[in-house]
Chains A and B, each alone.
Chain A
Amino acid sequence: GAGVSQSPSNKVTEKGKDVELRCDPISGHTALYWYRQSLGQGLEFLIYFQGNSAPDKSGLPSDRFSAERTGGSVSTLTIQRTQQEDSAVYLCASSLGREGWGETQYFGPGTRLLVL
C-alpha cells in the first residue's frame, strides 16, 4: 500500500515479556516518528529518526524502550520487561524529510498493545 504500515495490529503480552513493534514508512520518506496514545497521557512523542542522523530519543519514557531503524526505512520499537502501564496504542508516522522541520507527518494505523 501507499501509506505507513504497522505490525502487528494488536499485541497481547504478559507483564515482564519483551515486545517488538514494526513500522514501514511511506516509500521515499526519510523521517520516521513514534508516538504513544494512552487514555491517561493522550498522544505523546517517543522518538524521531531523520536519515543517518542520531535519533531524537527525548520522548522515550524509560530505558526499557528502544528503537532502531535499519537501512533508513523500516523501524522497530522494542519494549523490554513490559509493564501494565505500557498498554497503549503505538503510532508510527513518516514525513518527506526535506524541509528540516515542521513537515506534515502521516500516521499508520497503530499497534494496540495490552500488557496483562
Chain B
Amino acid sequence: AQKVTQAQTEISVVEKEDVTLDCVYETRDTTYYLFWYKQPPSGELVFLIRRNSFDEQNEISGRYSWNFQKSTSSFNFTITASQVVDSAVYFCALIWAGTASKLTFGTGTRLQVTL
C-alpha cells in the first residue's frame, strides 16, 4: 500500500522552542515528489516545499528546515524558534509517478504555539 503517515496528531510548544513534525511514507515507486503544506486557522492550504525523490539534500528556509531520509522513508519538518504565527495544521503529501498528479495527504499535525 502507498500511504503517508503523520503519527503526531497534535503538538503544543511554548514560543521559541524548536519543534519537529514527522512524516513517514510508503511507496514501491522510486520516483515521487514530497510536499509540505500549512493550513492556518483561515483554512487555506499554503505550499511550503516540494522535494524530488532523487534529491536527498536537506533544505533550510529561514526558520524552517526539512530532513529527507530515503533509507527510512521519512520527510521531517523542523521549525526553529517557533512563533505564535506558526500555529496551524501541517500536512505532508506525496505524488507518485503512477498516480498522475493526485496528491495523497497525511492526516495532518496540529501545532499550537503559545506565549
Q: Which residues of A come within 8 Å of B, CB atoms?
A: 31, 33, 35, 42-43, 45, 48, 50, 56, 58-59, 89, 91, 93, 95, 101-110, 112
Count, chain B residues at interface, CB 8 A: 24
Known A-B contacts A104-B50, A108-B44, A109-B42; A45 and B103 likewise in contact (beta carbons under 8 Å):
yes
Q: Is the CB of A105 within 8 A of B107?
A: no
Sort A-B residue pairs by CB-CB distance and give the 7 closest, nearest first. Answer: A107-B45, A43-B105, A102-B33, A45-B102, A109-B44, A102-B95, A101-B101
User: What are the residues of chain B within 8 A of A45 when measuring CB–CB?
Assistant: 102-104
- A98 CA / B33 CA spacing, docked (Å): 16
Q: Which residues of B come within 8 Å of A, CB atoms?
A: 32-33, 35, 37, 42-47, 50, 52, 91, 93, 95, 97, 100-105, 107-108
Most buried by A among B33, B42, B103: B103
Q: Is the CB of B102 within 8 A of A48?
A: yes
Known A-B contacts A107-B44, A109-B43; A56 and B102 likewise in contact (beta carbons under 8 Å):
yes
What's the least CB distance linking A103 to chain B, in Å?
A: 7
User: How many A-B Cβ pairs are below 8 Å?
Assistant: 59
What's the least CB distance linking A77 to chain B, in Å?
A: 16
Q: Is the CB of A42 within 8 A of B107?
A: yes
Known A-B contacts A89-B43, A110-B44; A101 and B100 likewise in contact (beta carbons under 8 Å):
yes
- A110 CA / B107 CA spacing, docked (Å): 18
What's the least CB distance linking A29 to chain B, in Å?
A: 12
- A20 CA / B42 CA spacing, docked (Å): 22
- B106: nearest residue on chain A (CB-CB)? A42
The one of B37, B44, B101, B105 that contacts A103, using a Cβ cutoff of 8 Å: B101
User: What are the residues of chain B within 8 A of A42 when measuring CB–CB?
Assistant: 105, 107-108
What's the least CB distance linking A27 to chain B, in Å?
A: 17
- A106 CA / B35 CA spacing, docked (Å): 12
- B52: nearest residue on chain A (CB-CB)? A102
- A44: nearest residue on chain B (CB-CB)? B105
- B104: nearest residue on chain A (CB-CB)? A45
Most buried by B among A43, A56, A110: A43
User: What are the residues of chain B within 8 A of A108 when measuring CB–CB?
Assistant: 44
Q: Is the CB of B101 within 8 A of A31?
A: yes
The one of B32, B43, B44, B101 that contacts A105, using a Cβ cutoff of 8 Å: B101
